[in-house]
Amino acid sequence: MSSRILASATRRLQARTASAPKMLRTFQTSARRLDSASPLPARKPVGAFRGGLFGFFLGSTLAGAAIYSYILPEYKASNQLLTEDIYALQNAVERLSNYVTTLEEKVDSLQRKK
């Protein structure tokens, strides 16, 4: 049964292809045209060393740019905190210096009274 179905299907397919015009494309060139064709210039192959070196530099540059873009805001934040701490320390030193000078003046005034 299945062989009869397959046989009839193949007959229909052959009938369609026989009635349709054949679309064949042939490539032909004349001898004169073939002689005038110049060969392609020889390309210098990119060796493994040059390709590896280029890949290394490209990867290093991309990694450096990514790290720079990540670290720059972190650096600015830490630098701002450090600057605030330095100003706070400077104010504390000034207050301590003023306190020490006032104590020295009081000690000097007490020694003069004796």
Residue 94 in this model has a pLDDT that exceeds 80: yes
The H or E element containing residue 53 is: helix 48-113
Backbone CA torsion sign across 85, 87, 90, 94: negative
Share of the chain above pLDDT 70, in %: 68
Residue 18 in this model has a pLDDT that exceeds 90: no
Q: What backbone phi and psi angles, to 5 degrees, belong to 29?
A: -135, 150
Whole-prediction pTM:
0.43
Residue 100 in this model has a pLDDT that exceeds 70: yes
Q: What would the mean pLDDT of 4-21 be, rounded to a whole number?
A: 66
Give the separation between CA 55 and CA 69, rounded to whole angstroms: 21
